[in-house]
Amino acid sequence: MWDYSEKVREHFLNPRNVGEIENPDGVGDVGSLSCGDALRLTIKVDGTERIVDAKFKTFGCASAIASSSALTEMIKGMTLNEAQNITNMDVVKYLGGLPLEKMHCSVMCREALDAAVADYRGEAVHTHDEHGRIVCKCFGITEDLIRRVIAENGLQTPEEVTNYCKAGGGCETCIDEIESLIALVHEKVVTHEKPVPKKEKLTNIQKIALVQETIANEIRPSLVKDGGDIDLIDVEGNRVFVALRGACSNCPSADMTLRYTVEQKLKEFVSEDLVVEVKE
């Protein structure tokens, strides 16, 4: 059983502002019934852009209902600009905490608020399952949303990302890319826990053989699993020329694959000096 705070229990058992405002000024629809959570937030705004009323309808767990209830209480009386400064962690703090596995409920509330404000202002309403490059196909989570929850919450592991937005919680084939996004947001290189043996200077023939072996054993299997492949074209000094095949050849994240999968593996198992380039 989840360890819920008293305030979470209170907002779940006695949710505030349930329902839908008639003729709302802004509507925010986020989530998906197929993914297990969905939220509609409706707001009424006066002439000074102050939220005078807010209501919600939620399909989801106790945390989703409590988070939605808390959000409506928090934003009533705020201006739109003030409301948009609310983070998912503000919702969590208001509730006295949420289980780590339920943090995505607070993120869903933040998305609904952004969508409702955008709708009021006549701006394009973008939610994570309809806009941007999809990273997690199981839950329709985009790269933009993953980057945002990582940055705003200081997330360091794929498991934490899953807790905050569900990405990686299905088939897990996107875990490697989530790890790479964490590295990009924090501007660090993905590291590997296993120790790397000290490498002796290789002859060119030895280097080519080791590159071929690393591609075959450490790189190709993960690419093939996602419908892609890779061929070694040539090795010139410390420059390794490869060609991406299959799904990898036209993948939007091909550059990331080269940098954080191919090049890092070759640096780890062959030489730190290697640079990978694409050559058809």
Catalytic residue IDs: 35, 105
Q: Which of 111, 70, 68, 109 is nearest to 93 (CA)?
A: 70
Token couple for 49: 């852009």
| Measured distance CA(170)–CA(178) in Å, rounded | 13
Other beta carbons within 10 angstroms of residue 99's beta carbon come to: 16
Contacts of 245 (CB under 8 A, 6+ apart): 228, 229, 230, 231
| Distance between CA atoms of residues 184 and 188, nearest Å | 6
Angle between helices 6-13 and 62-75 (to 10 degrees): 90
Q: Is the dihedral of CA 164, 169, 174, 179 positive or negative?
A: positive
